[in-house]
Amino acid sequence: MAKKMEDTVLNQVNVLGTEFDNYTMAEFLQILSGRLAKQHGTFIVTANPEIVMYAKDHPEYARLVAEADFVTADGIGVVKGAAMLGTPIKERVTGFDLMEKLLGLAAEKNYPVYLIGAKPTVADQAATKVRQKLRNINIVGVHDGYFSLTDENVMANIVAVKPAMVFVAMGFPRQEEFIAQLRRHLPDALLMGVGGSFDVLAGNVKRAPQWVQNAHLEWLYRLAKEPTRLKRMVVLPQFLLAVRAARKKQANAR
């Protein structure tokens, strides 16, 4: 599949098989706003170490990620891993931050937005909060994330209201699987998986304070707030070990 030929010279960093697009938030926004203006359909994956490890072990999911137009480094682990491999990534671009900026752009340019994902009350609350914050935002539809991916009604309802941006908050791999299907019916829209972001928008889950984010300890903050995440978080040291092994292999190959 042709990847973003019109926008850039390829500027990618490979971390354990996942190709990241190496742009700052400002650069991403500039590229994306150009694509939105031209209605160039765009599929964005915001990949953290969990996604990288999952893709490494699941070729079908890896294929979905490879077919995305952009992959951002959502997680300091990815930025650290890239640096360890000698191919630094400019900065972390989280799904939540990018979504917030894109919502701002949508309000400014009157791009219709669709929110899909999370529990029904959470999705509605997230939409209410966005409307409170961005008075001009045009949210053309809201749907929870608990439905069968084979349910064509959900897809048809989204397509019918012609959104320019669809934010899909269902966690991986489900959100990317859904986007890969939706993309065929909505080739002109920006489609982006945003994980647990609606819970944050709705105010159910608090984002770590800026100083915690700056100290690269957001993962610890999330663990303290949601101890049940521990099982998922063992993937972080596994990721760093895998990066270390890849670095060793690189050094031996030289």
Query: Footprint of ligand UDP on this chain (CB under 6 A)?
Result: 117-119, 145-146, 169-171, 174, 195-196, 198-199
Q: Which is nearer to ligand UDP, 111 or 198 (CB)?
A: 198
Minimal distance, residue 229 CB to ligand UDP, in Å: 8
Q: Are 76 and 10 in contact (CB under 8 A)?
A: no
Nearer to ligand UDP by Cβ, of 13 and 154: the residue is 154
Task: Decide: 41 and 188 in contact? Cβ < 8 Å.
Answer: yes
Mark out the alpha helices in 120-229 (DSSP H runs): 120-133, 152-160, 174-185, 197-202, 210-214, 218-225
**CB closer to ligand UDP out of 31 and 165:** 165
- We find the least distance from the C-beta atom of residue 6 to ligand UDP, in angstroms, to be 30
CB of 30 to ligand UDP, least distance (A): 25
Please give the residue whose beta carbon sits closest to ligand UDP in the complex.
145
CB closer to ligand UDP out of 40 and 193 = 193
CA distances from 4 to 16, 29, 159, 163, 240 (A): 22, 14, 23, 21, 30
Cα–Cα nearest to 82, from 230, 195, 218, 250: 250
- DSSP secondary-structure letter at 170? S
Q: Give me the least distance between CB of 252 and ligand UDP, in Å please.
A: 34
Residue 91 carries which side chain, given as an amino acid letter?
Answer: E
Residue with smaller CB distance to ligand UDP, 91 or 147 = 147
| DSSP state at residue 92 | -
Q: In angstroms, give the least distance from the CB of 72 to ligand UDP.
A: 13
